[in-house]
Amino acid sequence: MRPATVSPLTLNLRPLPPPVLPTFLEPLLPFRRALYTLQSGPDANRRIHFIDHGAPSARPVLMIHGNPTWSFLWRKVIALLPGYRCVAPDLLGLGFSDRLPRMADHSVERHGAAIAELVEALDLRGVILMAQDWGGPIAAQVGARLPERIAGLVLSNTAVIVPTHPRGTWFHKFARVPGVSDFVFRGLGFPQNVLGRIQGDRRSIRGDVARAYRWPLRTWKDRLTPLALARMVPDGPDHPSVPALRRGEAWVRSFTGPVALVWGTADPIMGPALRRHERELPRAAVTRTRAGHFLQEEVPEELAAAVAGVSRGAPPA
Angle between helices 108-122 and 135-145 (to 10 degrees): 60
- Checking if the pLDDT of 99 tops 60, the result is yes
The CATH code belonging to domain 15-166+239-313 is: 3.40.50.1820
Task: Name 171's Cβ contacts closer than 8 Å, sequence gap at least 6.
Answer: 191, 230, 269
- pLDDT grade, residue 2 (50/70/90)? very low
Other residues' Cβ atoms within 10 Å of the Cβ of residue 86? 28
| Mean of all residue pLDDT scores within the chain | 94
Residue % of the chain over a pLDDT of 90:
91
- Checking if the pLDDT of 243 tops 90, the result is yes
Tens of pLDDT, residue by residue over 124-179, are: 999 999 999 999 999 999 999 999 999 999 999 999 999 988 988 899 999 999 99
Q: Where are the domains of the chain?
A: 15-166+239-313
- List residues bridging with 48 in a β-sheet: 36
- pLDDT grade, residue 75 (50/70/90)? very high
Tens of pLDDT, residue by residue over 274-311, are: 999 999 999 999 999 999 999 999 999 999 999 999 99
Burial 247-277 (b: 16+ CB within 10 A, else e): bbbebbeebebbbbbbbbbbbebbbebbeeb
pLDDT at 13: 57
- Checking if the pLDDT of 82 tops 90, the result is yes
- Checking if the pLDDT of 15 tops 70, the result is no
| Mean pLDDT computed over 221-232 | 97
- Checking if the pLDDT of 1 tops 50, the result is no
